[in-house]
Chains A and B, each alone.
Chain A
Amino acid sequence: MQWDINSDRPVYIQLIEQIQASIITGYFKPSDKLPSVRDLAAEASVNPNTMQKALSELERTGLVYSNRTSGRYITSDLLLIKELKKQSAKNLVIDFLDKMNQLGYEKEEVLSILSETVKEMGK
């Protein structure tokens, strides 16, 4: 998995986001066993404690659960994952609308540019 950690935001937040992204894209499938904290940290070139913090947070929100003897697993709760996907999409939209707003576009204009571009891309 390709990790992309930049340097101005807290690492653990970026780790959470990227693990969530990989759940959504299906890189990590429901009920998949996650590699150990150390292996994940080595892969992402981050501190194991920070990876641990990110995983603990994901456990708290239910996306990941841990079995004391065999390690950590992605949740099998498909609804939760779907909800996550939707929330991610929403965040993208909010971000997009924000940027469009900064460019000076009103909401109706945004919608028409959006459908125009989608049509063009369809060709």
Chain B
Amino acid sequence: MLNKLMKYELKATSRLLVPLYLILFILSIVNRFIFNFNSQDVVFKIVNTFLMISYVISIFAVLIVTVIYMIVRFYKNLLTDEGYLMFTLPTKTHELITSKLIITVLWTIISVAAVLISLFIAFSSQADFVDILNAVRDAITSLNRDFGGNWIFALIEGIVMLLLSLTTNILMIYASIALGQLFSKHKIIGSFISYIAIYTVIQFAMIIVLVILGAFNSNVELGVSVLPKVILPTSIIILAAGSSCFYFGTNYIFKKKLNLD
């Protein structure tokens, strides 16, 4: 069931996002040619500027629209009329949530990758390529030095952190939407209020944790080497805990407190 749900989620969301990314690529290709053209013609300069601005806007659009669209879709597909279809399918409630989470993470990664690739298409040259390789090599060397020789481990931890952090943020939004729908009359406003409330609570919690950690640890010289061994794992645990709370909270609300109009 989960696979089927993901398949349809992907199909439904591609309709908007794929054309959006295509426009981005087209603009980046156009810009590449324009960029290398040099002409004093005024009309050309105006068109050039216009295209450049369009391109920059499209980069922002790709990133912002992807996020907002996936959030709106979660609400629309599960808590409006379409919810009557989704919640009567023979699937478990958590499969509905998980399928959307995975596809949202996927599109977020794709949108960032698309922007990077398009920048590459628009602006890079032979020299840039070599520069990038060198930068990567330098980064690996410094990682190696800072983290006592185990750069792969640090890298993996970093990626896990990134994914986990993305997941936690998405689940936090899902949980806010779920809490919002408990307000029978003002579901959308309720979602925003819930989000602010959750965010505030987390900020307080983080301050308290930092104060506690700070009180126990006055040895500043531990420095960067502690990162992969203590701070990152701790953060991963905290994020995992947060994700679980949001996930199971959302699931509970959808299972027991659902109230479609």
Chains A and B share a contact (CB less than 8 Å): no
Residues on A close to B: CB < 8 A? none
